[in-house]
Structure 1
């Protein structure tokens, strides 16, 4: 997701739909109460980081002053439990048991860690802080400024059988037009209805081997759409001691919201501080390009990621260098442009794509621009995170004769 400050008005699916989802789903409660290496069970051999008041930031990303919650060797698989902010924010009452009960969700279908964090004295400024629960950071042995952190997305598992899509006043692609509800004076977690924002509840259901999000359209009609999970926030810590709001993405990661970076993808982040200090959060069950309401279908996820340090100047670095987050899938290289102005984000994405093609495949820059114009899709990642994002999908198959391809 993204930036948000509000909303307890919700469109609720039926209790029957929620129960149908729950019947096919085991809620993934925390594996342990502190970071550790797992020695038994499904995640044996993985390091594990739960989401607790000791391992998360609410609304801010780790900076260079952050203390790592865990340090792991390069090449380690780390399983993170993440918590969606949707259903726990002040505009939703800061009480997930009560909030989701209004949607027909039993208390045992609400995550224990979400309950614990919202019931704690964890400070969160609804108007000035970002909305996200960010888990970490994890330090990686040997990581130094100038190196690159390679993050491979191994597995993404929904922790609950439901999600939420929110549209909040002053946010989204159509601020001032939506929501159409009228705010009331003195909103608070005790009176969340006064924010008058819209949060739409969406159970997820299984059909065969596929999971789908569902929306109740009334008159016994249901909208159903396939899930494509990914982590909205991943990144490394910046070289600053100043607070880093969780909303705007940057060249070293954060709230990039690129929906192509699901299971099987790899992301490269330039490291600015010792240990890298990797973090993740803002898990999405699925998101359309643009994320126009404000949020995706937000839901808590268990993410297993492999963290590997690539030393500066080594041959395994894609494009010879990584100065800005770079994505990779089986089919595409994903270059990224960022700016508060969408037009300038587009220019940034084109320049970064030219640089990558020139350095990685050793082709002339003018030829790279011609190729991009003829054969590459530039997609709007999101327009709602203050800093807007454009990403390019550079097709690997077009360069199969080039030695620079690291497939």
Structure 2
């Protein structure tokens, strides 16, 4: 069994065929039991080609194996109380592991909504149980958010809600560099409860932060409704179905704090206090498109940054296209980049209108490639100061109400952003970024870029629920001439 436990600096040469077969299996099914209790595992060296990983080379960057060897290392990071930051990015948090450019990292991610139905999404799962543990004496992860530790609602104040696995430090990364993140594979995390073998589950909360809230036609006008969805964990079925829904009722957490609304992440829902409606969305098949709502590197502007509003270093972008086969480029803002990922979704529509997606735990495999600042001039990655998403057929730019709200809104930015967002501002930012992209990467003049944007670029609403609202701009690669070798 490929249970190689050592630090990232150890070197035991090329992996055996048996080890490579085990890695291939890990890439395929992302077994949660693999070294669950280890903080991070590395050191075995494998050939990327030997993994049979289907990767389309990115248009902007060459494949980056370690110089001269063609070999990369593969790390596995299980989700546990010791490997996550709940609700924030941090430039100074202790990294879970340090990797080199070109390395692969398989990372488990947990949805912060798992306690909406703990029987289906937590029970029997040691990693999830360690993160969500909460009794009268302690929580498995005490801080939940970037707020005050003595906040009445709970430590961290819920000023940030996503369970972010990491951070992963990239050796040699410095401000001004670009981190390329290739999403090699995404696998659903199955329920560990034997009663639900072969199935996975997710939660959709139509909550107070949703765009719809209060603008409803049935009473009560201000209500929060949770819908639990079932996903086929074997991958044989590409659609999800609703299982039941219920209205949120005031929940008393194990510390005795009452939560009249969904005001703090991970509050256990006492199912004795709710009424389940199992006659919901009958015969409706929801397309499954697994992706990561929150992924990025740490900003420099603050020690701890709320995970909810997206920003120039990525974060909670909530674009369903950030899934298997996609590549995202992030500007590095702090030494080591400090990459984290979380907020896994089984599916989501553009806008994420009611406040959440199908929040469903996933495991992803990523290749992390560093592009040094000195190598960027004259390349399409030069001057990149925003997250750029690349799929097989498209490039996508993400505009926000504020391109860098932490810098633009001053010392109280993490609170002020929620009252200042607008789709108009996000569309303006998306326009500016797409104009920059077309002029710098395709050599177009401004008038050419403006004309092309109007006739060949699609602008869509990414999300209107994350404080810093988002609009994405999509352009097809096929409209441009092929690049020379």
TM-score range relative to shorter protein? 0.7 to 0.9
- Pairing partner for 2:214 from 167, 176, 183: 176
SS at 2:375 equivalent: coil
Work out whether 1:254 is the aligned partner of 2:315. Answer: yes
CA contact (8 A) 2:458 2:474 kept: yes
- Pairing partner for 1:330 from 379, 392, 395: 392
Work out whether 1:318 is the aligned partner of 2:380. Answer: yes
Structure 1 residue 69 displacement after superposition: 1.2
Quote the residue 1:136 is aligned against: 166
Query: Cα–Cα, structure 1 residues 80 and 317, in superposed 2: closer, same or farther, change >3 Å?
Result: farther
Supply the distance in 2 between the matched residues of 1:150 and 1:208 (Cα, whole angstroms).
27
Quote the residue 1:68 is aligned against: 95
Equivalent residues in 2 for 1:278-297, closer than 5 Å: 278-297=339-358
CA contact (8 A) 1:167 1:179 kept: no
Structure 1 residue 29 displacement after superposition: 4.2
Query: Cα–Cα, structure 1 residues 401 and 304, in superposed 2: closer, same or farther, change >3 Å?
Result: closer
CA contact (8 A) 2:98 2:171 kept: yes
Query: Cα–Cα, structure 1 residues 302 and 198, in superposed 2: closer, same or farther, change >3 Å?
Result: same
Quote the residue 1:211 is aligned against: 238
Supply the distance in 1 between the matched residues of 2:298 and 2:127 (Cα, whole angstroms).
24
Supply the distance in 2 between the matched residues of 1:138 and 1:208 (Cα, whole angstroms).
28
Supply the distance in 2 between the matched residues of 1:74 and 1:310 (Cα, whole angstroms).
8
Quote the residue 1:21 is aligned against: none
Query: Cα–Cα, structure 1 residues 131 and 349, in superposed 2: closer, same or farther, change >3 Å?
Result: same
Supply the distance in 2 between the matched residues of 1:206 and 1:179 (Cα, whole angstroms).
36
Quote the residue 1:96 is aligned against: none
Structure 1 residue 28 displacement after superposition: 3.5
- Pairing partner for 2:35 from 31, 38, 47: 31
Quote the residue 1:111 is aligned against: 125
Gaps of 5+ in 1: 1-24, 93-98, 184-194
- Pairing partner for 2:78 from 50, 54, 64: 50
Supply the distance in 2 between the matched residues of 1:26 and 1:148 (Cα, whole angstroms).
28
SS at 2:449 equivalent: helix
Structure 1 residue 227 displacement after superposition: 0.7
CA contact (8 A) 2:30 2:363 kept: no
Structure 1 residue 38 displacement after superposition: 7.0
Q: Give TM-score scaled by structure 2 length.
A: 0.67
Structure 1 residue 159 displacement after superposition: 0.4
Query: Cα–Cα, structure 1 residues 115 and 153, in superposed 2: closer, same or farther, change >3 Å?
Result: same
More relative contact order, 1 or 2 (CA 8 Å, 6+ apart): 1
Please identify which structure carries the higher strand content.
Answer: 1
Supply the distance in 1 between the matched residues of 2:171 and 2:183 (Cα, whole angstroms).
19
Equivalent residues in 2 for 1:356-367, closer than 5 Å: 356-367=437-448
Supply the distance in 1 between the matched residues of 2:425 and 2:349 (Cα, whole angstroms).
21
Number of positions where the alignment pairs a residue of Structure 1 with one of Structure 2: 354
Quote the residue 1:159 is aligned against: 189
- Pairing partner for 2:432 from 347, 351, 369: 351
Structure 1 residue 142 displacement after superposition: 1.2
Query: Cα–Cα, structure 1 residues 51 and 371, in superposed 2: closer, same or farther, change >3 Å?
Result: same
Query: Cα–Cα, structure 1 residues 278 and 347, in superposed 2: closer, same or farther, change >3 Å?
Result: same
SS at 1:346 equivalent: helix
Query: Cα–Cα, structure 1 residues 260 and 106, in superposed 2: closer, same or farther, change >3 Å?
Result: closer
SS at 1:47 equivalent: strand
Query: Cα–Cα, structure 1 residues 220 and 312, in superposed 2: closer, same or farther, change >3 Å?
Result: closer
Gaps of 5+ in 2: 1-28, 54-71, 145-152, 191-199, 244-277, 402-420
Structure 1 residue 267 displacement after superposition: 0.4
What is the root-mean-square deviation in Å for CA atoms of aligned residues? 2.9
Structure 1 residue 222 displacement after superposition: 2.3
Q: Give TM-score scaled by structure 1 length.
A: 0.80
Work out whether 1:379 is the aligned partner of 2:460. Answer: yes
SS at 1:218 equivalent: coil
Supply the distance in 1 between the matched residues of 2:281 and 2:316 (Cα, whole angstroms).
36
